[in-house]
A and B are shown apart, each in its own frame.
Chain A
Amino acid sequence: MTKTIDLSEQDLRHANRCLQRRDDGTQTEFDVLNPMGAHALAAGLQEAVTVTIHGHVGYYCAGMNQKATVTVHGNAGVGVAENMMSGHVHVTGDASQSAGATGHGGLLVIEGNASSRCGISMKGIDIVVKGSVGHNSAFMAQAGHLVICGDADDGLGDSIYETVIYLRGEAKGLGADCVEKQMDDAHRATLQSLLTKAGVDADPKDFRRYGSARALYNFKIDNVGAY
């Protein structure tokens, strides 16, 4: 049975305690009504619960998520699913800056567009954006995959480490040390798996792969102009 939490009647702290199952350890499905842009909603979940949020959310929705499945029927503010460890976060609308920032694991799906710094410093999370991403997405991205079905603004993958970017549209510009790389069958299989998990009907053959040239991994005076 689904438990309903109405944020027009309950404050954030009580709502989160409920979603975190600090009060009741048995409930597994939650509907959240009237989020009205609340910040840090469904942050710090640790259990395999299913949370469906009906409306727009503010900053850090599903922040540091572990195991939970969180769906936002609306738009998400800054840092949705930031530092996610595992689980699944799905945004049906657009996402603001720093979506999936520093995430270590799990899957973040954004059906609309994501603003700047999507996947900044990501550390293993997989992010699939059906629309386009803003500037400096995958900045200093360390691990995981960023799939962009639309276009990418300037500075894509700036100072990237080992994250792999798949881009279907055009990149306005690549950041320092980010280069296009060859795409073979293994990469297409990985991408197909991510697209399937995200529920995206797209052909991996239409994507290009980007990653680190690894030229800036160590300080070399010859590279000083690249920084």
Chain B
Amino acid sequence: MTQDTERLRESSLFDRATIADIQRAADQGIYKIRGFGAKRKVPHFDDLVFLGASVSRYPLEGYREACGTDVTLGTRHAEKPLKIDIPITIAGMSFGSLSAQAKEALGRGASEVGTSTTTGDGGMTKEERGHSTKLVYQYLPSRYGMNPDDLRQADAIEVVIGQGAKPGGGGMLLGQKISDRVADMRTLPKDIDQRSACRHPDWTGPDDLEIKIRELREITDWQVPIYVKVGATRTYYDTMLAVKSGADVVVVDGMQGGTGATQECFIEHVGIPTLPAVRLAAEALQELGLHRTGVQLIVSGGIRSGADVAKAIALGADAVSIGTAALIALGDNRPDLAAEYEKLGSAPGFYEDWQAGQDPAGITTQDPELAKRLDPEKAGHRLANYLRVLTLEAQTLARACGKSHVHNLEPEDLQALTIEAAAMAKVPLAGTGWIPGQNF
């Protein structure tokens, strides 16, 4: 029967996606677990624009005058701060969530352009260490695969308190991704649905964290920087307390940050967007007199383009970190896999079932047949290309604002297109001098 589509009116409250969610919950009796990150629209860097040069500002020549992009991380306490050539790092993603080939590719891509990559829940793999010239070792609540020998061969340590996709929640790795190797690295039975702890087992609160950081420094002889990573929630206070606890670098992950597997209600409804988070963290560092001087700020959660990179830096970040975008650069959601995505009930551009272990791109899987589809060398080179583009774009925008280093970008270079973004980023609404919440 042909339907008269003009007479059909979709509810904004109970739209088709909401109805499907209710039907799925009624069918399955369990919450939805998925990968990727928040899909709802929230104020973001797209809502900001650079002012560029004008009569009162002059730009740098795009192809002649230098615009620096190097960043030194961990200048506060570490004997060997981590120097990266571009202001973009690869975020922590676990072996287990990702295949060994994907971890190797991330290392190869990052190394090709002189930046760092990061381990994840589950420990350090030899592929990752071997192909990463700069590797950050995550110290997580689960302590899966936590090994002091690996700690000592890391170039930096990241104490993970939370991540943007699930501040207050622990990791999740479903049984279909617990291969023999993953189980062995995590000291867990094979095929279980593994629930990572959400709290560290041997410390609570900033006073304990300070002692924990001291222990990590003693074990590593004060050589390498120690980061503290938080999901964006009470960002101003978290940044203050991380610094008080002795962090060299604070990593703030906004709610758009991706995940390998988490409850959807968590992904979409916990945490604040990256846009206000970067500003709050920068303000905390400024108040402490440590911004751009003593403690570095890395921001992640929804970084896709060089414009995002430049805007995050202008708002106060020293560097950004990417996860979801890096996987896409490796080959996730590729159009040529359309037929295989269709078999899984998805399509290129929509695939989010990173928890399921059936990734046709061979990235978010432990199936050896699927994993070997990913050529680490080629995928790594694709990632390097993407990182180069992000860097070139950020440099282009910085030069247009007359900056000889991306770190010279500042909030004054930005204006907002929406009242919400103006309030969150604390820059004027475009064409006005108005920053909501300020200068009444």
Contacts and interface: CB of A to CB of B under 8 A. Distances in A.
Given A82-B202, A85-B147, A104-B187, A217 B193 contact: yes
A43 B203 CA distance: 16
B192 A83 contact: no
Interface in B150-208: 151, 174-175, 186-189, 191-193, 195, 197, 201-203, 208
Interface of A, helix, strand, loop or mixed by DSSP: loop
Contact of B189 (A46, A58, A121, A162): A162
A218 B203 contact: no
B219 interface: yes
A13 B203 contact: no
Nearest to A142: B187
Contacts of B148: 44, 46, 64, 66, 83, 85
Interface in A87-121: 97-98, 101-102, 104, 117, 120-121
Contacts of B192: 161, 217-218
B333 to A, nearest CB: 26
B211 interface: yes
Nearest to B222: A13
A135 interface: no
Interface in B11-56: 28-30
B214 A102 contact: no
B221 interface: yes
Contacts of B212: 59-60
A120 B202 contact: yes
Contact of A143 (B187, B203, B219): B187
Q: Chain B interface secondary structure, helix, strand, loop or mixed?
A: loop
Contact of A121 (B143, B208, B222): B143
Contacts of A104: 146-147, 187
Contacts of A46: 148
Contact of B211 (A60, A64, A98, A224): A60
A143 B28 CA distance: 33
A12 interface: yes
B215 A17 contact: no
A22 B192 CA distance: 42
A79 B201 CA distance: 9
Contacts of B175: 218
Contacts of B189: 161-162, 217
B219 A124 contact: no
A219 B146 contact: no
Given A59-B208, A78-B208, A101-B202, A219 B30 contact: yes
A219 B195 CA distance: 10
Interface residues of B, number: 34
Contacts, number: 103
A interface bracket (residues with beta carbon within 8 Å of B): 35 or more
Nearest to B170: A140
Given A79-B203, A161-B189, A16 B218 contact: yes
Contact of B214 (A40, A140, A143, A217): A40
Contacts of A224: 30
Contacts of A63: 215, 219
Contacts of A59: 202-203, 208, 211-212, 215
A60 B202 contact: yes
A120 B149 CA distance: 22
B187 A140 contact: no
B142 interface: yes
A64 B187 contact: no
A39 interface: yes
A64 B187 CA distance: 17
B215 A39 contact: yes
Given A43-B218, A85-B148, A117 B187 contact: no
A221 interface: yes
Contacts of B203: 59, 78-79
A64 to B, nearest CB: 4
A123 interface: yes
A58 B211 contact: yes
A80 B165 CA distance: 33
Interface of B: 28-30, 142-143, 146-149, 151, 174-175, 186-189, 191-193, 195, 197, 201-203, 208, 211-212, 214-215, 218-222
What are the 4 closest A-B residue pairs judged by CB atoms, nearest first? A44-B219, A79-B202, A40-B215, A98-B202
24 contacts: A40-B215, A40-B219, A44-B220, A46-B148, A59-B211, A59-B212, A60-B212, A64-B151, A66-B148, A66-B149, A78-B208, A83-B143, A83-B148, A102-B201, A117-B202, A121-B197, A121-B201, A123-B143, A124-B187, A161-B188, A217-B191, A221-B29, A221-B30, A224-B30
Interface of A: 12-13, 16-17, 20, 22, 39-40, 43-44, 46, 58-60, 63-64, 66, 78-79, 82-83, 85, 97-98, 101-102, 104, 117, 120-121, 123-124, 139-140, 142-143, 159, 161-162, 217-219, 221, 224
Given A46-B148, A82-B201, A221-B28, 18 more contacts: A13-B218, A39-B214, A40-B214, A44-B220, A59-B208, A59-B215, A60-B212, A66-B148, A78-B208, A83-B143, A83-B148, A101-B202, A117-B201, A121-B201, A142-B186, A161-B189, A217-B193, A224-B30
